[in-house]
Structure formats: C-alpha cells, structure tokens
A and B are shown apart, each in its own frame.
Chain A
Amino acid sequence: MKNSKFIILFIFSMVFAFSAFAQKSKTEKVSFKVYGNCGQCKDRIEAACDVKGIKAAEWNVDTKMIEVIYVPEKISLEKVHQLIADCGHDTDLKKASDAVYQKLPDCCLYREKPNTHHE
C-alpha cells in the first residue's frame, strides 16, 4: 500500500507540475483567417506553428480559421503570421511568396481554386 501512495503522490505532483508550468508564462489565444483548402493544408499550417512560444494551434478546414495559443513574451503575433506565410499559406496580414506557394501540391493551391464548398 506504501507503493500505491507513492504513485498517487507522483501523479498528483505531475498534474500539479503541469498546471504550474502552464500558468507560469502568460498565454494569449487568438483566432484569424488562414487561406487553404484541405487536410494536407491543415497538417502544413499546424506543423508550421509547431515552434517555441506557440502552445497549440488548430486550423479548421471548413471555416479557414486558425486558433492559436501563444506566449506574447516569446513570440509576436506578427511572427506567427509570418511562419504560416512561410509555409505557403496567406493570412490577411502576411502573404506567402509566390515561390513557396507554387511548390504546394495542386490540391492545396487555394488562390486558383479556393475551396468554396460548405454544407
């Protein structure tokens, strides 16, 4: 039974550590539009946001809106837009360079074939 108490304690301390960790730096949640088409775009956009300073990012294929939780002390919002533009996706703040955009797979070329499909 000694062991079990240890484990419970360990888990509680872990949960506590996580929540403390999460609270330490001030985070902000923003939502903005990112142009793209498909699930491949989603992977690409979310992978581009996988950097220090961004806690989480989720892009919605249907609404084209991205939700980003980031730490303003570590990364500026402009930089987040830039990261997304650098991987080939336009935002209303930053445009992707044509060179990067042209390298996207055909189904992801949202400028030529914007996804207007809604249900």
Chain B
Amino acid sequence: MKAFFVFCLGFLFLLETRAQKPLLLHGVVVETNQKGLIEPIQGAVIHWMGSNYSTATDSNGTFKIAIDPQYSYLIVQALGFKNDTIFVSGNNYLKVLMVSKRNFEEAIITYERKSSEVSFIDPWKTTIMNEKELFKAACCNLSESFETNPSVDVAYSDALTGSKQIQMLGLAGQYTQMSLEQMPGIRGIASNFGLNYIPGTWVNSIQVSKGMGSVVNGFESVSGQINVELHKPISKDKIYWNAYAGQGGRYETNLVLAQQPTKMFSHALFLHTSATVNRMDQNRDSYLDNPIGNQTNLLYRIFLDPKNGWVFHASIQYVKDEKMGGMVDFKPSMQDTAHNTMFGTQINAKRISSTMKLGYVFPKNKYRSIGLQANGSNQSFDNYFGNNLYNAKQQSLYANLIYQDIIGNTKHKMRAGLSHQSDIIDENLFNKQAYHFIRNEQVSGAFAEYTYSYLALFTAVAGARIDYHNYFGWKFVPRLHLRYAPSVSTVFRAVAGKGWRTANLISENMSSLTSNRTWVFTNAFLPKTVYGFAPEEAWNFGVNLTHEFKINLHKGNFGIDYYHTIFEKQIVVDRDAKTNSVYFYNLNGSSYSRSLQVQMDFQPMRRFDVRFAYRWYEVKTQYQTALLDVPMIATHRWFLNMAYATKSKWSFDATANWIGAKRLPQTLDNPIALQLAARSNAYVLVNAQITKSIKKKWDVYTGCENILNFQQPRAILDGANPFGNYFDASMTWGPVFGRMFYGGFRFKM
C-alpha cells in the first residue's frame, strides 16, 4: 500500500516535471541605447495580466514564463521604461523592445511564428490563421480567406449574385458563430453576409474552432466559431496600403492608418473601396458570371488605456454594398415586374454598426476582472431577383457583462455574467404573393463557466447558460470541454454541448430566390413565432487529437477530428418535394451531420511547407419523402497546399482542392431537356500565387485562381426563359467563373 502511494506520488511528480518544463514562453526584453544598438534589460518584471506569478529577466534580458491557458496578456515592466502589455497566443519566442520613458515611441513586438498553427493550450482546438497565412491567397474579403484552410468550406450559393457562403462540419454558414474581436455581433439577416463586409487586408488574424464554443459568447454556435481580429491601433505598422486588380474587372484598395499620439490613447482608421466594373460572361450563357457593383467600407476604432486597470475599446463601421447581376445587358432601369422584359438581380446592403468594450482589472487582486462588451447595428437590404423582391431592416443591440475570478487558487477559475440581445427585424418578401414579417426578439440570459486546470496536463471547462426568449420562454444550454495532454507533443480534446438559434429563413435561403421556385410556409403568421417556427436546437459532440512530430529536425503536425451534430429541432428547407417549390417545415425525424477530418502539416525541406487534408461528411435530414443527403454537400474532399519561400524573399504558394460529387435537388418534374443529373461532377480547383517582398515594406504579388479553368456546366437552368416555370440559378455546385489572373501590392510602414 505504501509502495503504491509512493509510486503514485512519484508518478504525479513525473507528470508535473514533464508537463511543466516544456510549456514555457521564452523571450527577451531589450532596449535601444543612444547609439541605436539593442541592449538587453536585466531585471525587467514579467507577469501574466490577472495572475500573481511573476518572473524577471536575467543579465541577458531573457526570460521564461509558464504558459497558462487562462491568461493571454503579458505585462512587462522595467524601471525607467514604459510598461508594456502584449497579447500572446502560442509559445513563440517573444522579443519585447521597451521604450524609455523619455522617448515617445511605442513598444515594438515581434512574433516569430508559423503562418497557421493549432494552439496546444486552449481547451478548444483552435486554428489560428495569421497574416502570413492570409497572404497566401488574394483574399478580397473574409469568405475568400479560407481558401488555404481545410476546416472551412467556401460554397457558391447561386450563379447570379456572386455570393459565397462558408460551411463548417458540412453545415451551412448560419450554424457557425461569427465574432469580431471576440464579440458575437454578425447576426440575424446579416449572418450569411457579415463576412463579406470585412475586407481581407483589414484582418490581423482569424481563429477557427470546431464544435461548441464557450457559453460566455452566447447560445448560438452549433458547428463552430470563427473569430476575426482586426489590425490594432497599437500595431507597429502606421500605414498599411494595398491595391488589387483582377482579370474580371475587379479593383480594390485598402488603407489602414494607425496612430498612437499618447501613451494612453491610440486610434486607427480603416478604408476600403472596391468595384467590379466589367460585364463578364465567360461561360456564354448570356448571364453575368459575377455581378457588377461596388462596396464602400469605413471603420474607425480607438483604444484607451489609462494604465490604472481600466481599458476601453470602441469602434464604428459603415458599409455600403451594391451589386447588380442578371442578364448581360440588364440595367436597373429595366427592372419591371409587370412586363418581364429582362432578368436582373440587385443586392443593395447598408450596415452601420458600433462596438465597445470596457474592462477593469482590480489593482489589488490581479486575477479578478470585470468586462462589459456591447454592440449595436442597423442593417438593411433592398434586393430583387427578377420578380422576387426582398427588403429587410434589422436593428440589433447586444450587451454582455463578464466577471472573472479564481476560486481559492489559480487551479480553479470561473467566469460568470449576464447578457441581453435584442433584434427587431422587419422583412418584406414578394414571391408569388406578398409577405410581411415583423419580429421583435428579446433574449436575456445568465451564464457561468468553471475551469479546472491541472498544470498543463489537464483542463476541464464546464459551462451552462440559461436564457429567456420573449417568444419561446426559457432555454438551457450546457457545454463541456476537456483537454488532456499526455505528452508535450500530443493533445486530446473532447467537447459536448448544446446550441440553439432562431433561423432567418429568408436571408439564409436568399439564393433560392434566384429561381422561379414558390416558397411554401406551413403557418407563416402564427403569433409569437419566427415565420411560424420555434428555434432550431442541436447537440454537438466532438473529439480530436493533435500530435506534433519531428523527422530529421523538420517539424510537422498531425491532426484528426470527428464531430457529430444532432438536430433536435430544425426547420427543414426542402427543395426536393417539388422541383419548382421550396417547402419550409419542422423536422419530423432525424437530422444529423457527421464529419471526419485528417490533416497533416509537414516541412520536408527548409522553407517548404506542405499541408494535406482529407475530409469526409455525412449530412442527412429527414425530408417529407425520405431521409436524404442534404444537397450541395460533397462527401469527400482532398486538400493540398504547398508553400515555398526562397532566401531572397520570393514565395510561391499553390493550393489544390478536390471536391467530390454532391447531391443535387431533384429536377424530375421538369421536361427531360431541363433535368439535371442526381449528383454533380467532382472537380479540382487549383490556385497559385507568387509574392516578392522588397525591403520589408513592399510586397508585390500575382496569382491565378482556378488554373484548370473549371466551370460548372449549366449553371443556370432554362436561362432562356427567366420568367418561365423552370428557371433556376440556385443549382450551383461549382465555380461559375473560370480562370482568373490577378495582381496587387501591399505597402507597410
């Protein structure tokens, strides 16, 4: 018995030393002396914001500090220098350049890191994509940024509006929770379009995680979360300018200006304008491949940090997005529902939004903090698709109050708080008949989350929230995350939880309006419902394994994950019951998604990275007729990305995506000439890009998308009779636009 006890103790000790040692953040703290040389600072004090453990730099200015999953802000203090707070993710070597108090320049932070990495510390499996990764493709907007990321699919929604939608775990974009700077805010009618309103060059990093998220961020996530961090006003680049031109007559320019006039105040202005001017019809179907139009996008943000425990961030954004598509010669003046002369589409969107974050860290109790985040937005759509009209307005408000503390010691942490969200949505739809939907959703909630961490070895996060919806009453959401790292290079994670959301049927299925399908609601105007329906509810379970390895000093990592989502309640969108209709009804039976992904990243040679992934999906729903595969989801997908950089700062990137066959909604009610096959063809998409960096300030790039020039045949069904019964532009499973060359530059100073 005694021996057993000693053994256990020894084992624990072993685990402790084993787990503690490698998970350290290394770094160096330096200053620039009068001669302009870099010198280490001895005795600088380093601690995590909110933790009471601190360390100091040695005579060489170097330090090591244990990484704690709960903390992400590192505070560096040295006598005679300005204090510095650094946001740290990952365990990359950190260089901190401290600025003397006499000097008014700000601290410069340099990270040396991989372009895309998986955090080993988070209880969530999060893939962090930083700028380096985003630069691999000419991302015009966020939805295109995922071209080099195998976890997120980008799907074409229809052949007319040029809209792309993201999918995770084989589920449509609306089941993924989008947040900007850790704040959910892209909701309601904007949920599928919000990502188009963030230009790719504004983005500093993107965090992608599958499965349920934290209860702190709300009840809505089902398949995953995507968080976007924009450039910070305290960034080291004061000017960031880029311009892009593509073969399709697409022009874009972005300008980000950042300034830090005083130690406490910094601000940044983001400007974007883009236009698609050429009327392109590569596939000669007499419809534009991409709509023409323009977008204007402005964002202004401020950071206030008076260094007394309070921190305040605020931003305001304005977007105007106008797109016109349809027949090649269509002009808006020809829109005429009475005479049916020409078929055209228009999406005019306007959005004004504002966010703020207020945080306070208790000076006497560094691990206790309180934060308030709030946002408000006003979004409108003024759209038509031939004779289908859709106008909508949405006013949303959101507030989330979070209190964070430890229980006894730092092994036990908790977060709790209150939230409220309000969405007032007014929609006018004309599809064979006029519909007017007004709803006012008010959801108040309370949440609590407890985190237990045993060193770096084990973490458990248990959370729950309860919300009161003014139409649907009380809703309870439990979630659990487990993380176990048996060795430095291996991490297992498991997640289980529930999510719910009200479906925005019209905006989520806007692509179905690019057809002559008749929309059929069961009981559209039932009071205290949303289009006659209750919220969708789903459970999600997932496990994943990440393993890092080294072959001949070349690093690599391997990941495998499996997720299972089960819908308890869902609003089924049925395009199979009748070819020229869309039925909306409550799920009666089972609906689920199973997804398996295997990914390997490896560096076979210096400066040469290979990423390879395979994904398998099974997404089935009980329709009126049978349990069928959800249309437009490919069962198999392969992904290969190769990146090579030379010593002379040339970089070459190529991505190949093989997308398997997808089930198409049945077209058997049409005349034989207008029927489609039951399944689409498999196809390969290859993109490549060459970038040259010049003097660290300039990047010049050129590339080609869809090199193999694959275009979906018959992207529009019965395009000759756009007002006839069989017209359908929503059967899009592949690219409508063929090979496209582009070029551009980035300038940073």
Contact = CB atoms under 8 A, between A and B. Distances in A.
Interface of A: 1, 3-4, 7-8, 11, 18, 22, 27, 29, 37-40, 42-43, 50, 55-58, 61, 67, 69, 105-107, 113, 115-117, 119
Contacts of A50: 606-607, 647
Contact of B636 (A4, A18, A37, A57): A4
9 contacts: A3-B658, A3-B684, A7-B656, A39-B95, A55-B606, A106-B39, A107-B39, A107-B60, A116-B58
B261 interface: no
B27 A56 contact: no
Contacts of B636: 4
Contacts of A8: 638
A39 B60 contact: no
Given A4-B638, A7-B640, A106-B33, 5 more contacts: A4-B658, A38-B62, A39-B27, A106-B37, A117-B62
B38 A105 contact: yes
Given A50-B606, A50-B647, A56 B553 contact: yes
Contacts of A105: 30, 37-38
Nearest to A108: B38
Interface in B50-82: 58-62, 64
B682 interface: yes
Given A39-B95, A117-B58, A107 B30 contact: yes
A27 B553 CA distance: 13
A68 to B, nearest CB: 8
Nearest to A18: B604
A1 B607 CA distance: 33
Contacts, number: 90
B86 to A, nearest CB: 15
Nearest to A39: B93
Contacts of A107: 28, 30, 38-40, 60-61
Given A4-B682, A117-B60, A117-B62, A38 B638 contact: no
B26 A39 contact: yes
A42 B636 CA distance: 42
Pick the 6 closest A-B CB pairs, nearest first: A56-B553, A106-B39, A117-B58, A107-B40, A39-B93, A105-B38
Nearest to A46: B606
A87 to B, nearest CB: 14
Nearest to A17: B604
B660 interface: yes
Contacts of B607: 50
Contacts of B40: 38, 106-107, 113
Contacts of A115: 58-60, 62
Contacts of B553: 55-58, 67, 69
B554 interface: yes
Contact of A37 (B27, B60, B554): B60
A56 B554 contact: yes
A101 B492 CA distance: 46
Contact of A106 (B38, B605, B640): B38
Contacts of B64: 119
Nearest to B555: A58
Interface string B586-616: 0000000000000000001111000010000
B112 A43 contact: yes
Nearest to B553: A56
B685 to A, nearest CB: 12
Contacts of B33: 106
Contacts of B27: 39
Contacts of B604: 18, 22
B640 A39 contact: no
A3 B682 contact: yes
A11 B640 contact: yes
Nearest to B28: A38
A40 B95 contact: yes
Contact of B112 (A1, A27, A39): A39
B612 A40 contact: no
A88 B607 CA distance: 23
Nearest to A57: B553
B409 interface: no
A29 B21 CA distance: 26
A37 B62 contact: yes
Contacts of A119: 21, 64
A115 B60 CA distance: 6
B552 interface: yes
A11 B612 contact: yes
Interface string B25-48: 011101001000111100000000
Contacts of A38: 28, 40, 60-62
A42 to B, nearest CB: 8
A58 B552 CA distance: 10
A18 B58 CA distance: 44
Nearest to A117: B58
A105 B638 CA distance: 46
Interface string B645-661: 00100000000101010
A108 to B, nearest CB: 8
Contacts of B37: 105-106
A40 B28 contact: yes
A50 B744 CA distance: 30
A1 B40 CA distance: 60
Nearest to A47: B647
A74 to B, nearest CB: 15
Contacts of A1: 682
Given A56-B553, A56-B606, A113 B59 contact: yes
Contacts of A40: 28, 95
B45 to A, nearest CB: 16
A117 B61 CA distance: 10
A117 to B, nearest CB: 4
